[in-house]
Structure 1
């Protein structure tokens, strides 16, 4: 049996961290090293890591200044000594057989990585462990990338086990959210030996309301434009037959932030995001308008948004909408730092 390195970036997750670590300690596959990287936490997360390292010699703890998820994962790859690597988010949990099943699928094969199903649950919801048939499928890297673009499977890296050698030339993009989208594109570019998949739900993904990406923060919106362009470039350079799918995903996903302008806190979308999205639509207006499987009304709205004059009026509309909402909520925008 070979060593599996489990990389766990940790940042201000004291509420969930013990549950995550316990699920790793209790793996049926025992040849593991658990690398807990404290990314400058300001709560008790670092202490929790240290306490567990005293109980289990398989746990390594690194404390560092805050740099973000990508840099932390990259550090984990450099530190890992196992021939296999997986990534677990510190507020999630995994099945006891997570490593065992993914390792057995990948060991003694030429495949680049193995993949399991993910069980998503809302924070506070009771988790029901599921009995799966453990059916396996083998597909090409191209088809797996296509499935990700078409939302048939996850972009996330946390439901996968990689051969370490497969990651020799691949790292996470620094200082970017949606880093898993870019990382997945790089996997497609660099790897070609196929992917083996099990239907077993071995990874339990906790959906928190205040998570960075889920909240549609301004940085999240802007960074997705970057990730979308990266997908389009990847398909153009390496797999032109996926151009339409990449274009659809790259434009429609960030457009949903604008389309839901009345919902949640979407009215705080900033000017940089709107300008970046408009430029993306302008750059690919001809190609996007040729897509036949998009609702015609929605396509027309997006094309209108891509016109040069529209953004000016849309920004005026946003300012008026903000003033209206602030008045309803009795908020002083300047006092609270939002501005109008």
Structure 2
């Protein structure tokens, strides 16, 4: 049995899928199962998947109808044979030591989750195009789930990629991705994981190479499903009840999202705008009454409220379009 299963959901990725799979095949850790879940792609994306699975025994291809990334990840979790599970998006890459470093950290500390930092990739580039990608010795830190949640919110991010999970924890606790949520599904998944786990090990190195997705549905200002993120945060506050620090950290991210939500309203039609406004009102009611923001956070929120158009223009300028 493979020790680690890498789940790669794919939908119509062609430009970067080969470089993603090549980076996994080049891992210095050999006990790797690559579960490639094709989510109803068109040609030639599906053909790339079939070609790689045919020529590389470590890649197991599962073909499904198009039901979304959460469904594809859940299919991967159910099919995985490894003792540990990690996720890689089909347009991203990982460093050669990525799996090995996460596995060593989680086994040495007997943790339930291992987490690393990430670097950015430019469009259609290799790992040399990121920033600060030179390998360095890992410093690891073992924390309880409460502290881990705060660090996810402030530093590491809620992404499911860049993290290694003990598969038995997911299976025994019935943890999977919410297939009704199209934005911030990672946030809810990881809050459930942290609710069920005992301890988390954090690495300060960046083993995951993330490609900003300029043309994704999430970045489309006309996409009404983006407002599902507000529902996700309302659920997140419920899951984080009793953890004041985490609720404050979530509240800061949430208030920034609310500023963006108000900016996005003008791009919706009347019916969609009315539904979105209701979501905004419900979420505002869920915010902590006395969040513990530092001076920098308060300044950022004030700027977002006073100059929403300028702030959004600056934020979106960083999105690279393919």
Q: Aligned partners of 1:89 and 1:10: how far apart in 2?
A: 7
TM-score by length of 1: 0.78
TM-score by length of 2: 0.82
Give the match's secondary structure for 1:213. helix
| Structure number, greater radius of gyration | 1
The counterpart of 1:140, out of the listed 135, 141, 144, is 144
Equivalent residues in 2 for 1:100-139 (5 A)? 100-124=100-124, 126-127=129-130, 129-139=133-143
Q: Aligned partners of 1:51 and 1:301: how far apart in 2?
A: 47
Give the match's secondary structure for 2:156. coil
Distance verdict in 2 for CA 1:199–1:297, change over 3 Å: closer
Q: How far apart are residue 133 of structure 1 and its match?
A: 2.6
| Residues paired across the two proteins, number | 292
Give the match's secondary structure for 1:152. helix
Indicate if the aligned counterparts of 1:92 and 1:205 stay in contact, CA closer than 8 A.
yes
**RMSD between superposed Cα atoms in Å:** 2.6
Q: Aligned partners of 2:97 and 2:191: how far apart in 1?
A: 28
- Unpaired runs of 5+ residues, structure 2, are 306-322
Deviations 1:19-45 (A, max 9, x none): 111111111111111111110012311
- Could you tell me which residue of structure 2 aligns to residue 250 of structure 1? 254
Q: Aligned partners of 1:290 and 1:202: how far apart in 2?
A: 33
- Could you tell me which residue of structure 1 aligns to residue 232 of structure 2? 227
Equivalent residues in 2 for 1:14-163 (5 A)? 14-124=14-124, 126-127=129-130, 129-149=133-153, 151-163=154-166
- Could you tell me which residue of structure 2 aligns to residue 276 of structure 1? 279
| Alignment pair present for 1:187 and 2:190 | no
Q: How far apart are residue 18 of structure 1 and its match?
A: 0.5
Greater RCO, 1 or 2 (C-alpha within 8 Å, sep 6+): 2
Give the match's secondary structure for 1:223. helix
- Unpaired runs of 5+ residues, structure 1, are 303-340
Indicate if the aligned counterparts of 1:137 and 1:196 stay in contact, CA closer than 8 A.
yes
Distance verdict in 2 for CA 1:171–1:292, change over 3 Å: closer
Q: How far apart are residue 297 of structure 1 and its match?
A: 11
Q: Aligned partners of 2:16 and 2:46: how far apart in 1?
A: 13
Q: Aligned partners of 1:24 and 1:297: how far apart in 2?
A: 38
Q: Aligned partners of 1:297 and 1:34: how far apart in 2?
A: 41
